């Protein structure tokens, strides 16, 4: 009788353990696999929350045309073509931080977390250290790190992004 009870207990324990593993694996995967469209929307929204004055440099007309092409491709879901247009634009303006950030956002859409972090960080290195682009850089870095399960590093990136907002001067 004791042996039979032990076998039943073992079977129940094995079934519960297997069910827990299956439930945990599914929920972990769901928690770790964010919707890339939502990620990019969050990144772009981070750039719009400030009230800073942002200076935009004059752009080469060829680059402007390539940006319009990239936008059209992205709107229609042709991300590879959008990225190609950005690569072409970067051959003309190789250190344009906004173009590098856009490549980071396309990499997020493609779930290429390493490339997203790389392009966003490079954009931050070349770009302004305050304002909307800075916040987008660190938001993209945080999203990429979070998607890879690097939650502590993602938190550091979010805090860095918060530092990109500069309070306007007090006017009396």
> Do the domain assignments include residue 28?
no
Maximal C-alpha separation, the chain? 87
Establish if 70 belongs to a structural domain.
yes
- Calculate helix-pair angle for 79-92, 61-75, nearest 10 degrees: 170
Domain-embedded: residue 119: yes
Q: 2 lies in a domain?
A: no
Say if 18 falls within a structural domain.
Answer: no
pLDDT tens sequence across 97-145: 999 999 999 999 999 999 999 999 999 999 999 999 999 999 999 999 9
pLDDT in tens, 36-50: 888 888 888 887 866
From 40, 152, 41, 44, select the one nearest 107 (Cα to Cα).
40
Domain residues for 122?
35-162
Q: What is the pLDDT of residue 12?
A: 37
On whether residue 12 sits in a domain, the answer given is no
What CATH number did the domain enclosing 135 receive?
1.25.40.10
Listing DSSP states for 114-160 in one string gives HHHHHHHHHHHHHS-SSSHHHHHHHHHHHHHHHHTT-HHHHHHHHHH
Give the pLDDT confidence score for residue 93 in this predicted structure: 95
pTM assigned to the model: 0.74
d(CA 31, CA 119): 24
In a domain, 168, yes or no: no
Say if CB 140 and CB 121 are below 8 A apart.
no
């Amino acid at each position: 009788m004791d042996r039979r009870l032990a076998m039943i207990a073992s079977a129940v324990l094995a079934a519960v353990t297997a069910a827990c593993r299956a439930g945990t694996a599914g929920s972990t995967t769901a928690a770790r696999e964010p919707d890339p469209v939502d990620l990019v929307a969050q990144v772009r929204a981070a750039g719009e929350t400030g009230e800073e004055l942002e200076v935009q440099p004059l752009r080469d007309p060829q680059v402007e045309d390539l940006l319009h092409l990239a936008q059209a491709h992205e709107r229609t879901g042709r991300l590879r073509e959008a990225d190609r247009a950005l690569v072409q634009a970067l051959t003309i303006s190789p250190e344009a931080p906004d173009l590098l950030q856009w490549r980071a956002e396309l990499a997020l859409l493609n779930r290429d977390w390493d490339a997203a972090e790389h392009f966003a960080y490079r954009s931050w290195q070349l770009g302004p250290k305050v304002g909307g682009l800075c916040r987008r850089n660190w938001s993209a870095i945080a999203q990429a790190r979070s998607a890879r399960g690097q939650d502590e590093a993602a938190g550091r990136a979010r805090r860095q992004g918060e530092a990109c907002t500069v309070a306007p001067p007090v006017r009396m």
